[in-house]
Amino acid sequence: MKKYAVFGNPIKHSMSPLIHTYFAKSLNIELTYEAILGNIGKFQIEAGGFLKKGGLGFNITLPFKQEAFNLAETRSDIAEITGSVNTISLKKGRVHGDNTDGYGFIKDIKNNIGCNLESKKVLLLGAGGAAMGIIPNILYERPFELKICNRTLEKAKKLCNKFSDLGKLDIVEMQDTENYKFDVIINSTSAGMSNSDFSLPVNFFKDNTVCYDLSYGIATNSFKNWADKNNLIFYDGLGMLLEQAAESFYIWESKRPLITDELKNILKAKL
């Protein structure tokens, strides 16, 4: 039996096992996919051990994406650029790292939702691992500009420096008074998990600003409530979760699973 997994800490609430076993069933592929709680400081040993015991690949979630980058012997271009890996596969016997988060985000916002980022003014909230994973793909869409706003300013500055070669990228602070009126606002913070209050200054948005939250489930509540209050269109990150998973599955099995309404409904019922 083919063996796959997802490593993270925490991992209990991961929906990846459900998604990948659904994909496998729909394509008549026999495999197992388990959620593994990685121990901090032991990722290299534990993940390496999974492959030594016959594992063919795995996903990586918080907080091990940088460690997975270091574990990989070869890497895709996007993994090299982002500096983080969410999918490990075996390529000609070597441990190969990829990152499907940016692909999944663009696939969802552009193809599924129909929101093209080209020539748009885009605001990205947050400067953590998820932001790092999607910034290159956002810039490849050639937005008019991408501004990053983060609670810890230094982290936003660091990401701007890291990706400055890829497009027009800068930081913005909540107290900036310029009339930005962003076309698209993407939330990549984990603030929703702690149910923090969410608010943006009026010069940041306009009537038809599109709001996209990488989070899903109750973690979207504060951003969604704010968007609803301001009559803005809002999308959660469930579509991205499914698209990045489908791309990982394709990397492993060379078969592209269909993302069905049935699967979406199964996930929504679990949130």
Position among 184, 227, 240, 246 found at the interface with ligand NDP (CB under 6 A): 240
| Residue 136 · residue 106 · CB < 8 Å | no
If binding is defined by CB under 6 A, does position 214 make contact with ligand NDP? yes
d(CA 184, CA 249): 29
If binding is defined by CB under 6 A, does position 175 make contact with ligand NDP? no
∠ at Cα 64 (58, 66), nearest 5°?
Answer: 105
Indicate which residue of 3, 25, 53, 65 is catalytic: 65
Would you say the C-alpha torsion 252, 62, 242, 114 has a positive or negative sign? negative
Position among 8, 57, 97, 129 found at the interface with ligand NDP (CB under 6 A): 129
Please list, residue by residue across 74-105, b when 16 or more beta carbons sit within 10 angstroms of its beta carbon and e when fewer do.
ebbebbebbbbbbbbbeeeeebbbbbbbbbbb
If binding is defined by CB under 6 A, does position 16 make contact with ligand NDP? no
Would you say the C-alpha torsion 176, 106, 231, 199 has a positive or negative sign? negative
> Of 26-34, 111-119, 122-130, 259-267, which segment contacts ligand NDP by CB under 6 A?
122-130
d(CA 58, CA 60): 7
The answer to whether residue 65 is catalytic is yes
Nearer to ligand NDP, 51 or 247 (CB): 247
Position among 16, 82, 87, 244 found at the interface with ligand NDP (CB under 6 A): 244
Position among 37, 45, 62, 271 found at the interface with ligand NDP (CB under 6 A): 62
Nearer to ligand NDP, 76 or 189 (CB): 189
If binding is defined by CB under 6 A, does position 130 make contact with ligand NDP? yes
Tokens of 28: 């008549």
d(CA 154, CA 160): 10
Q: Which residues bind ligand NDP (CB under 6 A)?
A: 62, 101, 104, 126-131, 150-152, 155, 188-191, 193-194, 196, 214-215, 219, 237, 240-241, 244
Q: Which residues are catalytic?
A: 65
